[in-house]
């Protein structure tokens, strides 16, 4: 089959195209600035998040550039040791809490959850806007902490350094994270209730698109996990300001307790980052293979399983801290179990593509990137779950490579796939497939150049979080920095061609890729302010390409 | 939540709220009192026990647990189960640290 998008309109004949070009839609029905800032429309709130997190991504990316530049040479010649600490701390905090955690849930979840379940909006539109402003306030507080002089504890805030010794703006930053945490909790709550109570007639749980299952599982983790980190940072603040002994051994506390509490949230948080991408991948692979998703039920359940297992593996971050060896064995075993549902998903996607009529649109190329990189990231996680090898690899560049393969290679690739896949729906325009595919390719190549050498560096013993290193590590570090430059080009390109297409791109019809879920089949591109002309009624499973295409052929 | 099928959201009498508030204050004083006694290894369980009673009062009366639907109770119990996982697995570390290998 031919490629999709600009070059061909092959898919049009499969799609029941709805609406007309010049209908009033959610973008053009009111142009005033206030109508954006005080909007209760889930679609506009999604776009507010999109703009804000993109700015945060640029800031986090600039910091990454500074880190890679410093590591180009073995000597510390670009940043001082202290600035280097602050740079990687700020990079981690911004990328995780202000970009990756809100990325797919807040931007695409907001935009798509009501559209995919046939609802007019989320359950609590005002709460939704409030969540956005909490996110905004949290960002302002965090940026204030950076402007005042930054934080040097690492994104992990380990005690007793963070509670007793660090002279940086730990409390300001903790307040920022506390606030942004509540944004995350309220968004999760909103989505859970929306999915439970606002599905359109006929949309049973097992007719939900897999993206909704992914977002639902994510929301549960957000709701259950985030309060723990909020309380933990609160305790850190209490100890720092009032000297109450919680983590400081001199005051009768236990520094390892901080790590327990921190990772009790932060391991599940890594699943907050990846679960939405898993959902996106299911959608993209189904649409671009024109096949029913293989093992729909088991993919749905494995999202829930990941959310549950995610909560019982956290101490694998603490194998070398002196926790009980018996507990370490239990956590090692439990960590291995979390690989099972991830494996199930990967095999199901392969089986979905098998025998499918695959086309290589930009979202699919990104999804391919996701598949490979997520698999490498997950498999190297197993090296780290093994008690013996972890002693060697812990706190080296191997860890850095592992989680970047998951979070950048996996989660961000998934985010890029999602943005490209739903862009015509969000904006009513088609971006250039040529530039899209080029950026996907450049990102993939740049990514591997940046992070693969870090596996080797870590294995050879280069520790993370130092601004100098022995001369023999330089070659691989030069590779990594050069790769980061390529990666940056890959990320900057969409920042040009996507906005360009927003103003000058070819108009998209309601279903340019031939998707089969409600947002494609029952709304215009871009959707009208109230989404659906009449409430849809669902009568079949979400990915029924066979039946549909048979019908087209027999016409 | 806006459903009314299962729940009868009759606002409880003001006296009940005041009584509960009184109970909570009394239990707080009890905690402080207990804090100054020496119960040996029982100090922590006693303090936590009183705290658990207070939490239960808040959930059942202030948060209207007593008139909530079964679904709400599933959520309440599930969150307690969740807390058990957190504390239980954490204690698996603390309690077995001293064991000889
Ligand atoms: C699926 C998404 C995943 C993400 C986003 C992720 C992310 C991370 C992050 C951020 C760290 C390092 C944190 C730090 O020390 O600063 C890490 C470490 C680790 N990951 Fe993953 N990970 C994922 C999957 C897995 C899987 C599937 C496994 C194993 C089956 C795994 C096992 C580990 C282990 C054992 C460590 C600790 C290594 C150490 O500190 O020595 N991870 N991961
Ligand atoms: Cu983990």
Residue A94: DSSP 8-state: I
Tell me what pLDDT residue B101 has.
62
- Cα separation, B63 vs B1, in Å, equals 12
B-chain residues near A326 (CB < 8 A): 92, 96, 99
* Shortest distance, CA A416 to any CA of chain B (angstroms): 34
Q: What confidence category does residue B75 fall into, taking pLDDT thresholds of 50, 70 and 90?
A: confident
Residue A526 in 3-state DSSP? coil
Read off the pLDDT band of B9 (50, 70, 90): low
Q: Which ligand is nearest to the CA of A311?
A: 2
Please give the average per-residue pLDDT across A528-543, as a whole number. 90
**Could you tell me the pTM of the whole model?**
0.90
CA distance A423 to B83: 40
Query: What integer is the mean pLDDT of A321-347?
Result: 93
Best mutation site among A92, A221, A262, A270 for ligand 1, i.e. most ligand atoms within 8 A of its Cβ? A270
Domain locations in chain A as residue ranges: 9-548
Query: Of A313, A310, A215, whose CA–CA distance to A270 is shortest?
Result: A310
Residue A282 to residue A294: CA distance in whole angstroms: 10
3-class DSSP assignment, residue A531: strand
Burial of A137 (0-12, 13-18, 19+ CB in 10 A): middle
Q: Which residue on chain A is closest to B75 by alpha carbon?
A: A224
Q: Would you state the pLDDT for residue B13? A: 81
**Least-confidence region, from A54-68, A193-207, B71-85:** B71-85
Give the Å distances, CA to CA, from A105 to A38, A124, A185, A336, A362.
20, 16, 12, 27, 21
Give, as one character, the DSSP assignment of residue A399: H
The answer to whether the peptide bond before residue A526 is cis (omega within 30 degrees of 0) is yes
Sign (positive or negative) of CA dihedral A203, A206, A207, A208: positive
pLDDT of residue B6: 47
Mean pLDDT of A313-327: 94
Residue B4 has pLDDT above 50, yes or no: no
B residues 65-84 near A, CB within 8 Å?
A: 79, 82
* Count of other CB atoms within 10 angstroms of residue A16: 10
What gap in Å lies between CA A358 and CA A346, rounded to an integer?
17
Q: Which of the four pLDDT bands, split at 50, 70 and 90, describes residue A3?
A: very low
For residue A252, give the DSSP letter: T
Mark residue A465 as left, alpha or beta (left: phi above 0; alpha: psi -120 to 50; beta: remaining): left
Sort strands A429-430 and A506-507 into parallel, antiparallel or unpaired. antiparallel
Asked whether the beta carbons of residue A311 and residue B96 sit closer than 8 angstroms, the reply is: no
- pLDDT 10s digits, B19-57: 999 999 999 999 999 989 888 889 889 999 999 999 999
Distance separating alpha carbons of residues A105 and A44, to the nearest angstrom: 14
Closest CA to A295 of A337, A368, A221, A353: A353
Q: What is the rounded CA–CA span in Å between residue A420 and residue A433? A: 10
Which pLDDT tens digit goes with each residue over A164-188?
Answer: 888 889 999 999 999 999 999 999 9
- Does the beta carbon of A378 lie inside 6 Å of ligand 1? yes
What are the domain boundaries of chain B?
A: 14-94
Which member of A193, A228, A327 has the closest CB to residue B92?
Answer: A327
Question: Which pLDDT score is estimated for B8?
Answer: 52
Q: Over the stretch A201-233, which tens digit does the pLDDT of each residue have?
A: 999 999 999 999 999 999 999 999 999 999 999
Angle at the Cα of A96 (from A88 to A308), degrees rounded to 5? Answer: 135
pLDDT category, A316, cuts 50, 70, 90? very high
Q: Please check whether residue B90 touches A, CB under 8 A.
A: yes
Whether the CB-CB separation of A389 and A488 falls below 8 Å is answered with no
Query: How many Cα atoms are found within 13 Å in the side-chain-facing hemisphere of B32?
Result: 5
Nearest alpha carbon to residue A385 among A349, A340, A347, A348? A340
pLDDT-derived band at A24 (thresholds 50, 70, 90) equals confident
Report, as an integer, the average pLDDT of A403-417: 96
A231 lines ligand 1 (CB under 6 A): no
Please state whether A518 falls in left (phi above 0), alpha (psi between -120 and 50) or beta: alpha
| Alpha carbon distances (Å) from A121 to A31, A89, A116, A421, A530 | 20, 37, 11, 21, 8
Q: Do the Cβ atoms of A324 and B94 come within 8 Å?
A: yes
Segment A128-147 mean pLDDT: 97
Q: At a CB cut-off of 8 Å and minimum separation 6, what does A471 contact? A: A74
Contact between chains at A264 and B90 (C-beta distance less than 8 A): yes
CB pairs under 8 A between A and B: 38
Per-residue confidence band for A6, with pLDDT thresholds at 50, 70 and 90: very low
Domain A9-548 annotated CATH 1.10.10.10: no
ipTM score of complex:
0.81
Predicted confidence at residue A29, as pLDDT, reads: 87
- H, E, C per residue of A362-396: HHHHHHHHHHHHHHHHHHHHHHHHCHHHHHHHCCE
């Amino acid at each position: 089959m031919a490629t999709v998008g600009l070059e061909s309109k092959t898919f049009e004949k499969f799609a029941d195209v709805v609406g007309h070009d010049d209908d009033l839609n959610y973008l053009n029905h009111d142009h005033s600035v206030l109508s954006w800032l005080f909007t209760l429309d889930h679609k506009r709130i999604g776009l507010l998040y999109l703009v804000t997190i993109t700015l945060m991504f640029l800031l986090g990316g600039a910091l990454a550039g500074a880190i890679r530049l410093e590591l180009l040479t073995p000597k510390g010649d670009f940043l001082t040791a202290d600035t280097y600490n602050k740079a990687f701390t700020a990079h981690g905090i911004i990328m995780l809490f202000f970009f990756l955690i809100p990325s797919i849930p807040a931007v695409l979840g907001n935009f798509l959850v009501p559209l995919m379940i046939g609802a007019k909006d989320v359950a609590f539109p005002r709460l939704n806007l409030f969540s956005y402003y909490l996110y905004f306030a949290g960002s302002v507080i965090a940026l204030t902490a950076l402007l005042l002089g930054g934080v040097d504890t690492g994104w992990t805030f380990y005690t007793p350094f963070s509670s007793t010794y660090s002279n940086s703006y730990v409390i300001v930053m903790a307040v920022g994270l506390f606030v942004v945490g509540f944004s995350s909790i309220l968004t999760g709550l909103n989505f859970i209730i929306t999915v439970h109570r606002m599905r359109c007639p006929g949309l049973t749980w097992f007719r939900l698109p897999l993206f909704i299952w992914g977002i639902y599982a994510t929301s549960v983790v957000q709701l259950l996990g985030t309060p723990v980190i909020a309380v933990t940072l609160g305790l850190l603040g209490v100890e720092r300001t009032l000297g109450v002994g919680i983590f400081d051994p001199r005051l009768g506390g236990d520094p390892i307790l901080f790590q327990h509490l921190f990772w009790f949230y932060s391991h599940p948080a890594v699943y907050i980052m990846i679960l939405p991408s898993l959902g996106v991948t299911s959608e993209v692979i189904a649409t671009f293979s024109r096949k029913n998703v293989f093992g729909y039920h088991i993919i749905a359940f494995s999202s829930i399983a990941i959310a549950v297992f995610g909560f019982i593996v956290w101490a694998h971050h603490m194998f070398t801290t002196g926790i009980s060896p018996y507990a370490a064995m239990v956590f090692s075993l439990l960590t291995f179990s979390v690989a099972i549902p991830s494996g199930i998903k990967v095999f199901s996607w392969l089986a979905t593509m098998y025998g499918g009529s695959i086309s290589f649109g930009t979202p699919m190329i990104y999804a391919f990137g996701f598949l490979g990189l997520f698999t490498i990231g997950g498999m190297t996680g197993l090296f780290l779950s093994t008690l013996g090898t972890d002693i060697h690899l812990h706190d080296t560049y191997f860890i850095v490579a592992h989680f970047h393969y998951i979070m950048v290679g996996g989660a961000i690739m998934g985010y890029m796939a999602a943005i490209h896949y739903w862009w015509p729906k969000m904006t009513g325009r088609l971006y250039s497939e040529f530039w899209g595919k080029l950026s996907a390719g450049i990102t993939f190549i740049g990514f591997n150049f940046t992070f693969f050498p870090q596996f080797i560096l870590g294995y050879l013993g280069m520790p993370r979080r130092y601004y100098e290193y022995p001369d023999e590590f330089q070659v691989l570090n030069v590779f990594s920095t050069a790769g980061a430059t390529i990666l940056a080009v890959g990320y900057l390109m969409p920042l040009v061609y996507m906005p360009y297409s927003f103003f000058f791109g070819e108009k998209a019809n309601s279903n340019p890729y031939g998707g089969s879920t409600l947002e494609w089949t029952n709304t215009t591109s871009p959707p009208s302010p109230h989404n659906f002309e009449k409430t849809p009624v669902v009568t079949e499973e979400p990915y029924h390409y066979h039946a549909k295409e048979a019908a087209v052929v027999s016409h | 939540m806006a459903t009314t099928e299962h729940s009868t959201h009759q606002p409880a009498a003001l006296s009940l709220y005041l009584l509960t508030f009184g109970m909570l204050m009394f239990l707080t004083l009890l905690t402080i009192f207990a804090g100054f006694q020496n119960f040996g290894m029982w100090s922590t369980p006693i303090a936590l026990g009183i705290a658990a009673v207070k939490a239960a009062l808040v959930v059942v009366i202030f948060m209207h647990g007593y008139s909530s639907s079964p679904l709400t109770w599933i959520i309440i119990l599930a969150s307690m189960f969740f807390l058990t996982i957190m504390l239980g697995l954490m204690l698996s570390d603390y309690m077995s640290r001293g064991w000889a290998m």
